[in-house]
Amino acid sequence: MNEILINKTIEKAQKIFENEFSGHDFWHTLRVYNTAKTIAKKEKCDMEIVCLAALLHDFDDVKITNSTTELENATKWLNENNYAPERINWIKEIINTISFKGIDTKVPKTIEGKIVQDADRLDAIGAIGIARTFAYGGSKGRELWNPNKHYIDGMNEEEYRKNNGNTINHFYEKLLKLKDMMNTNTAKEIAEHRHHYMEMFLEEFYEEWNGKK
Ligand code: NI
């Protein structure tokens, strides 16, 4: 495993996400990387691909750059470091399939892709998921909740991106669905715990909203 390249990529990520405060930041990338490694240790897989795909998965996120499926930033970085072309393609294929796109979401073909997708999804739920969701909603000027606006089920990619709901609705539109979308058994176990924590949070939130003690 190319530890030097991995460490350099961690440093590069720090620079790429320098001015990003919406919850899609360097720390998100680092958590996905660490969680992906935890899952990968239990699976027969190419650890180096898992690590690099995890570190690079948001280098070209629409919230960060304008480059989309071409994955300019990630590709440029791997090329600059003389990474093997067929392995660059493998990583690009993973990054292009893992993101959440409402009902258009895909399952990655390789175990390495499944692991990174699980790690990215795990970071969207639990205590960190709650914190990130409110941070992101705040950055978009969204209400915490609006009891008069019901959430929308079964959105496609475009509807999902354009949707400008409130943050509590986002739990029902995305976060509470993620538990059943995990690929690996390790991620399923972790997700179970984090899902339960979010349910408790919502219960408490509504009680406080309605003025109960
Ligand atoms: Ni991500």
Phi/psi-derived region of residue 211, left when phi > 0, alpha when psi is between -120 and 50, beta in every other case: left
Please check the confidence at residue 70 and state whether its pLDDT lies above 90.
no
101: which strand partners?
103
Question: From ligand 1's centre to the CA of 29, what distance in Å?
Answer: 7
Percent of the chain with pLDDT over 90: 71
- Rounded CA-CA distance 170/163 in Å is 10
Q: How many other β-carbons are positioned within 10 Å of the β-carbon of residue 185? A: 12
Beta bridge partners of 103: 101
Q: Which of 6-20, 44-58, 116-130, 177-191 has the lowest mean pLDDT?
A: 6-20
Residue 159 has pLDDT above 80, yes or no: no
Q: Tell me, what DSSP letter sits at residue 184?
A: S
Q: State the Cα torsion 79-81-87-88 to the nearest 10°.
A: -30
pLDDT band at 195 (very low <50, low <70, confident <90, very high): very high
The two structure tokens encoding residue 83? 């990474």
Q: How many residues are given for the chain?
A: 213
Average the pLDDT over 126-148 and give the result: 93
Could you list which residues have their CB under 5 Å from ion ligand 1? Answer: 58, 120
Alpha carbon of 86 to those of 46, 79, 89, 178: distances in Å? 14, 11, 5, 31
- Residue 177, pLDDT > 70, answer yes
pLDDT at 104: 67
Give this prediction's pTM: 0.88
CA of 123 to the centre of ligand 1 (A): 8
d(CA 6, ligand 1 centre) in Å: 17
Angle (CA) 192-137-9 rounded to 5° is 70
CB 192 within 8 A of CB 205: no
What is the overall mean pLDDT for the chain? 90
